[in-house]
């Protein structure tokens, strides 16, 4: 038997063994039972290998169909969310139930408010990051 795991090497080895037995008729009567088992094994291995290749092709086809179904589902979800946003309004908090972020008023960070309040109390103006000159 070959040392590698290659399928074709294994098949070649079994077929070569079968041919070697056919070329030596003096050995055939003593190993007739083993030859039957060898032939059955060879046919079974070839059948299962063909089935394995067929299942690989079916798996690839199934994967392609699954990806297409997922893409259709994402498109449908976008359409549903878009219609819901149009029906109940882009600012409604009910949009959260549909995993859509409603439009909200922008809020300043707490640190900026404290700086502005401290600057106003001291009588100095604190520049915001957007007030910096562009170089």
Mean pLDDT of 100-125: 74
Give the pLDDT score at 123: 62
Alpha carbon distance 89, 97 (integer Å): 13
Using CA atoms, how far apart are residues 122 and 7, in angstroms rounded to an integer? 84
Torsion angle, CA of 104/109/110/114, rounded to 10 degrees?
-120
Among all chains, which residue has been given the structure tokens 């070649």? 12
Q: Whole-number mean pLDDT of the chain?
A: 85
pTM of the model: 0.55
Q: What is the pLDDT of residue 6?
A: 86
Burial 64-100 (b: 16+ CB within 10 A, else e): eeeeeeeeeeeeeeeeeeeebbeebeeebeebeeeeb
Task: Report the pLDDT value the prediction gives residue 2, as an integer from 0 to 100.
Answer: 45
The whole-angstrom separation of Cα 55 and Cα 128 is: 64
């Amino acid at each position: 038997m070959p040392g590698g795991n290659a399928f074709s090497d294994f098949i070649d080895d079994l077929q070569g063994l079968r041919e070697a037995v056919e070329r030596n008729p003096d050995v055939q009567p003593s190993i007739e039972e083993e030859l039957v088992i060898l032939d059955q094994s060879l046919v079974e291995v070839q059948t299962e290998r063909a089935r394995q290749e067929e299942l690989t092709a079916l798996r690839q086809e199934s994967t392609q169909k699954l990806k297409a179904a997922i893409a259709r589902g994402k498109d449908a979800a976008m359409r549903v969310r878009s219609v819901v946003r149009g029906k109940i309004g882009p600012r409604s908090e009910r949009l959260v139930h549909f995993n859509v972020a409603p439009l909200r008023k922008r809020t300043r960070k707490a640190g900026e408010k404290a700086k502005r309040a401290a600057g106003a109390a001291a009588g100095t103006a604190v520049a915001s990051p957007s007030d910096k000159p562009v170089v």
